[in-house]
Structure 1
Amino acid sequence: METPCFPPAPPVAPPLPSPEQQPPVPSPEQLQHAAEQLTRAVHVIFGEWTALRLAVENEWAGGGTRERALALLQRVRDGLLASAVVHRDELEDVIDNALVDDFNIEADDESPLEIATLLCALHTEARAGVTKTADVLLARSAGKRTWVEVPPPPRQRGEDDSSDEDIDDDNDGGGGGGTSAMDEDMGGGCVRAAPEVDEDGFQMVSPRRGRGAKVVSGRQPAPQSMTE
């Protein structure tokens, strides 16, 4: 006797998550606190960023370098607070282009990617009312003051400065000339000197002389919650 063939059973829709399994909706107070922590954390990230710190300390974009750096920080911060979705590759492009166009820096350490990844993690958490990564960053930097809070001391002008100015003049004004990348909407071989290690453990490479651009090499330390 042949076994009767039955039509296949219709696909069963996955069960809806129970109210206990659904993530809690953050309260307005939680979202406000998360936004405030994100703002503080962005200040920490930019303040500890080797490439931007060197640009500010050495005035690689001229006398208004710190103001340009603060404007970039503000533009990125405001974009994170105002955007529902942030794409890492787009944010990386914004940061990388700003380094080249506004500060005459070519980052040789993938720090724009690392900075964009960390900023996206902060944004995702803040949208959910979570401050885990921001709390780690703020705890790590407690008591520290960077160029974001305090302007660096005036730079002593010497022979090295005059040689840098000559290089900049030979390259159509060096850093700071032309259209600024900050005005955009958000959304080969290197000649290196012997690496130096600063007090934070970063490796630095002297400016490249060939094109007048500054080549920075180092690593941006990730907070513990990003590496565990």
Structure 2
Amino acid sequence: MDYSNGGGEVPQVLSGQAAAIFAEGISLVLSRWTALQMAVENQWGGRESRGKADQLVASIQEFFGQKEDLYIDELEELLEVYMLDSLSTEVQDGSVPEVAEQLMIMHEECLEGKYESIQKLKQLAPRTNAVSQSKQVVNDNDDDSSDEEDSESDSMEMEATKEMDVDPVKTGTKPGPDPDGWTVVANKRNRGRRSN
């Protein structure tokens, strides 16, 4: 798809109401973008990470408010550069083109006075907890495997103690050859002492 308002025509600018709805749509899309939410939650951009994420909304609005033609690759570059420079996050999961495409489609719909995609995003539960959910899944998997390993090792230890023969404790060993031909040597600490 060619996401540009180009072709020699003057690009349309969103009306006041459409611009407000589009701004809300931008916020909804970004709230569901896992890479951005991870950067904010983990403060990869410093303590001001939340403010920087809010500034990204303003930068995207400014991008769409320009009087020039709009191209998706320029929007992708804006997202990548902002994430890297402001939030110290290099996004390598392929989500930047997806987010850019969703924003371009949403903008085109708002120009036509259609707000269905934004309404759908409003109805869906916000994914701001996507980061904690992904951490929970990882932690749950770790717990399951370690529980299984713990129960297996516990049962192995119990079996081992039942099957293991234990030599009786020898008291007062004398230095000299053992019946097997080995010589027992007392350690330095016990050489001068005798046990009674």
SS at match of 1:79: helix
SS at match of 1:107: coil
Alignment of 1:118-157 (within 5 A): 118-141=102-125, 144=126, 146=128
Cα shift at 1:78: 3.0
The residue number in structure 2 matching 1:159 is none
The residue number in structure 2 matching 1:8 is none
Instruction: Please give the root-mean-square deviation of Cα atoms over the aligned residues, in Å.
Output: 3.2
Task: Call closer, same or farther: CA 1:133–1:92 in 2, change over 3 Å.
Answer: same
| Structure 2 Cα separation of the partners of residues 121 and 202 of structure 1 | 33
Identity across the alignment (%): 26
CA contact (8 A) 1:47 1:146 kept: yes
Quick one: which of 2, 21, 26 aligns to 1:37? Answer: 21
Is the radius of gyration larger for structure 1 or structure 2?
Answer: 2
CA contact (8 A) 1:31 1:128 kept: no
Residue-by-residue CA offset, 1:174-215 (whole Å, 9 max, x unaligned): xxxxxxxxxxxxxxxxxxxxxx985379999xxxxxxxxxxx
Quick one: which of 78, 85, 89 aligns to 1:105? Answer: 89
The residue number in structure 2 matching 1:65 is 49
Cα shift at 1:61: 1.3
Task: Call closer, same or farther: CA 1:87–1:132 in 2, change over 3 Å.
Answer: same
Supply the AA of the counterpart residue of 2:123: A
Number of residue-to-residue matches in the alignment: 126
Alignment of 1:141-180 (within 5 A): 141=125, 144=126, 146=128
Residue-by-residue CA offset, 1:63-112 (whole Å, 9 max, x unaligned): 11111111111110232244564211100001011111211111121111
| Structure 1 Cα separation of the partners of residues 45 and 70 of structure 2 | 28
Residue-by-residue CA offset, 1:143-190 (whole Å, 9 max, x unaligned): x4849xxxxxxxxxxxxxxxxxxxxxxxxxxxxxxxxxxxxxxxxxxx
Unaligned runs of 5+ in 1: 1-29, 148-195, 205-228
Task: Call closer, same or farther: CA 1:201–1:122 in 2, change over 3 Å.
Answer: farther
Cα shift at 1:33: 3.7
Scaled by the length of structure 2, what TM-score is found?
0.55
| Structure 2 Cα separation of the partners of residues 201 and 134 of structure 1 | 28
Unaligned runs of 5+ in 2: 1-13, 139-196
Task: Call closer, same or farther: CA 1:131–1:85 in 2, change over 3 Å.
Answer: farther
